[in-house]
Amino acid sequence: MNAYTTPKDEIAAASSFPAAPLVRPSRDEAEAAVRTLLQWAGDDPTREGLVDTPARVARAFEEWFAGYEIDPREMLQRTFEETDGYDEMVLLRDIRFESFCEHHMAPIIGKAHIAYLPKNRVVGISKLARVVEVFAKRLQIQEKMTAQIANVLDEVLQPQGVAVVIEAQHQCMTTRGIHKPGVAMVTSRMLGAFRSNVETRREFLALIAQPGLSSSAV
């Protein structure tokens, strides 16, 4: 953090969602760009094995980056208040995801653990996994993705606290550059009671560390 930013500024920046591009290229333009890259790499985009590759890549991009079309705030709007006063931790762990780094467009493959302490309402657990999916299906850096997930849950659910831990391997580090396979990056974001209460944070970290514990058991 530099002298011109505050924690509040950083939270706002991390939780902001990318604006839609003013002018989105057409599919023909996207496929032409793929052909250019294939030729730049040294191959012939007109040969049999590559002639349909630009169209396949365009379709793959629609799937890989579908998160730009979804607002996770809207997805979290449906909540449930009939909880009989339940206010203990809700934890969903080992949520597998695939994303792409915004620096080299190389895959990021990992898992996320999400917990929150409800105040007056809870959300369907599938929505927690969907929030991870939405942010993963955008060009990312892991630190930003961790903050985005935590911040949107805190904003919409307004719980007593939110905790997010992400563990992932970055192919931009394992397949190029320093070439160090097997290295995992871990990031975390603790808000509310998970930041202020040591015991609450410790319980969360202990639960996600327990081997063989299924998310349905917590």
Catalytic residue chosen out of the listed positions 143, 158, 171, 172: 172
**Do the beta carbons of residue 188 and residue 165 sit within 8 Å?**
yes
Token pair 């997805």: residue: 75
**Do the beta carbons of residue 147 and residue 92 sit within 8 Å?**
no
Can you tell me the distance from the alpha carbon of 117 to that of 107, in angstroms, rounded to the nearest whole number? 32
Catalytic residue chosen out of the listed positions 104, 155, 158, 203: 104
Residue 102 appears among annotated catalytic residues: yes
Catalytic residue chosen out of the listed positions 140, 142, 148, 160: 142
Catalytic residue chosen out of the listed positions 29, 39, 62, 103: 103
Residue 104 appears among annotated catalytic residues: yes
Residue 101 appears among annotated catalytic residues: yes
Catalytic residue chosen out of the listed positions 113, 133, 160, 170: 170
**Residue among 106, 87, 103, 110 nearest 192 (CA):** 87
- C-alpha pair distances (Å), 146 with each of 22, 43, 185, 189, 203: 27, 38, 12, 6, 19
Catalytic residue chosen out of the listed positions 39, 77, 102, 210: 102
- Please name the residues in contact with 54: beta carbons below 8 A apart, sequence gap of 6 or more: 30, 31, 32, 34, 35, 38, 45
Can you tell me the distance from the alpha carbon of 129 to that of 98, in angstroms, rounded to the nearest whole number? 12
Catalytic residue chosen out of the listed positions 31, 101, 133, 148: 101
Instruction: Label the pairing between strands 161-170 and 79-80.
Output: unpaired
* Per-state percent for the chain, helix, strand, coil, to nearest 5: 45, 20, 35
Positions marked catalytic: 101-104, 142, 170, 172
